[in-house]
Amino acid sequence: MENRLHSGNAKKKRKGRRKAPPSSFRPHIIPEQAEELDPGKDYTPDILEFLYGIHGKIRVDGAGDYYYESVSTISLHFLLKSRLPAKEMLWRWYQHFEQERSESIYQTLPPQRDEEFLQILEGCAFRWNAEAVRESGLVFLSQHRTEVYLALEEILAMRLDEFETLDDAQLAELLRPGNTWSDRHLKRLMQSVQTQPLSLNQRQSIYAQLESDYLKATARHLIDETQNEAFWKASPPELEALHSRFIIFARTMTNTARRLGVYISRKSFEEEAGARAWGQAGDGYGRRQSRAPRRMRNSKQPMEQSYFDALGLPSSANLAEVKLAYRNMVKQHHPDQGGSVQDFLRLQEAYEYLLTQVF
C-alpha cells in the first residue's frame, strides 16, 4: 500500500514538469519524410512558399470584393507538411501556445493573428529574412489593421458630420419616434450609423490602401465585423476616439430632441397609451377604464424636481448619480429594514421616472 501511495505522489510531481525535447524527439504527428534543420540554409523562400499556399488563394467577386478562396488559417498540420524543419516548428509552436494552457497542436492562427506566426518563427533556430516576409503582402500586420480602422473611422465620422448640416425641421422629423420612447429611438439611430454597410466606393477606397489581394480580403473581413452590433460593445483600441465621439453624438441628439420638443418620456408615453385605451372604451364602462396607467389616473402627479428631491439630488444630477443615490436610499427605506411602504413606493417611482429622463 505504501509503495502505491509513493508511486502515485511521484506521478503527481512529474505531471507539471516540462523538459526540452531530446534529439530523438519525433512524435507520431511528424511525417516520416520531414525536413531536417540545416543551420546554413536561408529558409525565407520556404516560408514564403508556405504562406503563399495558405494565403495566396484569393477570389474577387463581380462587385469587386475580395474573399478567401480556401481556408486561410495557419495550423500545425499545414506547417508540418511544408519544407520548414518539422521538429523545430513543432517545438516552437508548442512553446508559444502552452502559455494559453490548451492543446497546442490543435491551435490555429486566423489571418488577423499572422503576427503570432512571425513570433513563432523568431524563436526558431534557422535563418530567415523577417523584413522580406513582412513586406511580402502575405501576412496581415498591426499596421495594416490600423490603416483599415483609420479609413473606417473617417467614413463613419463623415456620417456623423451629416447630422450637423440638418436644420431644426429636419432634425425634428428625424428624432420623433413612432411608437416608442426617444432614448430607444436614439439608440437605434446610433446603431444604424455604426452598422450601416459601406458602399462599394467606400470599400474600394480601403482596398486601394493595401498592396496585395490577401490583405484586401482580410480588410473586407474586418469591415464585415464592424457591421455587427456586438463589435461596438467592445471596440478595439484603434477606434477608441471614434467610440468616444459616438457617446457625444448620443448626448447631443438627446439634448436636441429635448430642445425641439420631440422628446417622448416614459411618463408621456404611458399617458398617451392610456388616453388611446380610454378613447377606445367609448363611454368608459367595462374593463378598459382599469387598464389606463396608474400615473394617468392620478391627477396630482408631482413635477420632475420632486423626483430629484425624493432621491436627495439636484436637478443637474447625471444617470450615475441617480443610480448611486437610489442604491443607498433603497436600503434605508425598504420595508424589511423598518422603512415606510409609502416612502419606498415613492422612491421607486422617482427612480423609474428619472431612468428615462437623465443621461
Per-residue pLDDT of the chain (359 residues; tens, 9 = 90+): 444 444 445 444 444 444 444 444 445 566 656 667 888 899 999 999 999 999 989 999 998 999 998 878 999 889 988 999 988 898 899 888 876 655 777 889 999 999 999 999 999 999 999 999 999 999 999 999 999 999 999 999 898 888 878 888 888 887 776 545 566 777 788 888 888 899 999 999 999 999 999 999 999 999 999 888 888 888 888 888 888 888 888 888 878 877 887 776 666 556 655 565 555 554 444 444 444 344 433 433 445 677 888 888 888 888 888 888 888 887 787 776 777 777 877 887 788 777 767 66
Residue written as grid cell 501556445: 97
CATH code: domain of residue 320: 1.10.287.110
Q: Are 152 and 226 in contact (CB under 8 A)?
A: yes
- Residues 179 and 214 placed together within one structural domain of the fold: yes
312: nearest Cα among 354, 356, 273, 250:
354
- Residues 114 and 62 placed together within one structural domain of the fold: yes
- Residues 79 and 170 placed together within one structural domain of the fold: no
The pLDDT of residue 343 is: 80
d(Cα 218, Cα 153) in Å, to the nearest integer? Answer: 17
262: nearest Cα among 340, 194, 204, 189:
189
- Residues 253 and 161 placed together within one structural domain of the fold: yes
d(Cα 136, Cα 48) in Å, to the nearest integer? Answer: 8
- Residues 164 and 78 placed together within one structural domain of the fold: no
The pLDDT of residue 301 is: 42
Q: Are 55 and 66 in contact (CB under 8 A)?
A: no
- Burial string for 258-293 (b: 16+ CB within 10 Å, else e) reads eeeebbbbbbebbbeebeebbeebeeeeeeeeeebb
Last residue of a domain, one of 72, 107, 134: 134
- Residues 119 and 53 placed together within one structural domain of the fold: yes
The pLDDT of residue 292 is: 39
- Residues 176 and 192 placed together within one structural domain of the fold: yes
- Residues 87 and 147 placed together within one structural domain of the fold: no
- Residues 178 and 224 placed together within one structural domain of the fold: yes
Looking at the domain assignment, is residue 204 inside a domain? yes
Q: How many domains is the chain partitioned into structurally?
A: 3
d(Cα 198, Cα 201) in Å, to the nearest integer? Answer: 8
- Residues 115 and 168 placed together within one structural domain of the fold: no
- Residues 78 and 184 placed together within one structural domain of the fold: no
Give the domain range for residue 106: 35-134
- Residues 242 and 146 placed together within one structural domain of the fold: yes
d(Cα 244, Cα 35) in Å, to the nearest integer? Answer: 52
